[in-house]
Amino acid sequence: MKIAVCVKQVPDSWAEKKMSGQVLDRAGVDAVLNDLDEYAVEEALRIVEAHSPTKEAGEGSGHTITLISMGPERATEAIRKALSMGADNAIHISDDALAGSDALATSLVLAKVISTEGFDLVICGTESTDARMSVVPAMLAQRLGWAALTFAGSVIVEPENSKVLIARSTEFGVENMSAAFPVVVSVNEKINEPRYPSFKGIMAAKKKTITAKSLSDLGIAASAVGASAAWSSVKDSLLRPARSSGIKVEDSGDGGNQLAAFLAEKRVI
């Protein structure tokens, strides 16, 4: 199988984020591999391990895991992290014209790479912790004309039948879905426990190939992406006034009654 995993470098989700003009201020915060993409990398590794004669990913498994990432130069740090978990190689799309791209442009670029390279399976996290739109996997499937199996809580791949089965929790209950290759899958954070890169993995990652691609390599016009091509624009942003802390009482047996009295005063009960 040829498996692709889409990964993104994002500001550390534990850091306070703020806007800089019309976009998120990315310079002022630590950048890390999107937490939710680690589950996608882990799931790809588990799928390969389950179908590898050596029970390991990498050479000899008969399968490849390629990371695809769009982002500035420094996104290579996040890519190396995912490589150190065990992915085989990576494609890094970097171009100044991509700055400020919306989800529509992001999905356009990723879909171009995926269709050019050809994969059986593309795995994504459900969302990035910065924009939190969770629409790119669905957009990718739509652009590629592939099946979308999204928000999966479990994934079973049957390479011999070229088939993917997932279960996902929705408002309606648990849906069991399936589709034939090629498929775009997005996995949620309950699906597995991502491994920590081993020392051996970190050393091996330094030697793995990251292929750099620009927009012209992909045959995408600079005018089709970036902030100027975005179909929505931020007019303004303001810091919400910090929530001031209200009343705080010590419980000496009566705290519950005071709580109830507060709710009554606010007419909640």
Partner 1 sequence: MSQVLILVDSVGGQVSKSTGELATFGSRLGSVTAVVFEPALAAQLNGFSIANVVVVTGVDTSKYSPAPVAEALAQLITSKSATALLVTSSARGKEIAGMVAVISNSGLITDAIDVDADRITTQSVFGGGTTVHSAVTTPTAVITMRSNSIEVVAGSGTPTQEEFAPTISEAAKLAVVNSTEPAVKGGRPELTEASIVVSGGRGTNGDFKPIEALADVLGAAVGASRAATDAGWYPHTHQVGQTGKTVSPQLYVACGISGAIQHRAGMQTSKLIVAVNKDPEAPIFELSDFGVVGDLFNVLPVATAAITAKKA
**138 lines the binding site for partner 1 (CB under 8 A):** yes
**135 lines the binding site for partner 1 (CB under 8 A):** yes
Is residue 116 helix, strand or coil? helix
Q: Which of residues 161-220 bind partner 1 (CB under 8 A)?
A: 165, 169-180, 183, 189-190
**145 lines the binding site for partner 1 (CB under 8 A):** yes
Task: Sort strands 19-20 and 23-24 into parallel, antiparallel or unpaired.
Answer: antiparallel
CB 92 within 8 Å of CB 210: yes
Burial class from Cβ neighbours inside 10 Å (0-12, 13-18, 19+) for residue 39 reads: buried
How far lies 137's CA from each of 26, 30, 46, 86, in Å?
A: 23, 25, 20, 22
Q: Given the complex with partner 1, which of 27 and 239 has the nearer CB atom? A: 239
The DSSP element (H or E) to which 256 belongs, if any, is helix 255-265
**35 lines the binding site for partner 1 (CB under 8 A):** yes
Find the shortest distance in angstroms from Cβ 55 to partner 1: 28
Find the shortest distance in angstroms from Cβ 10 to partner 1: 11
**89 lines the binding site for partner 1 (CB under 8 A):** no
How far lies 237's CA from each of 24, 26, 80, 100, in Å?
A: 10, 16, 34, 16
Q: Which of 30, 59, 160, 236 binds partner 1 (CB under 8 A)?
A: 236
Find the shortest distance in angstroms from Cβ 255 to partner 1: 4
**134 lines the binding site for partner 1 (CB under 8 A):** yes
**259 lines the binding site for partner 1 (CB under 8 A):** yes
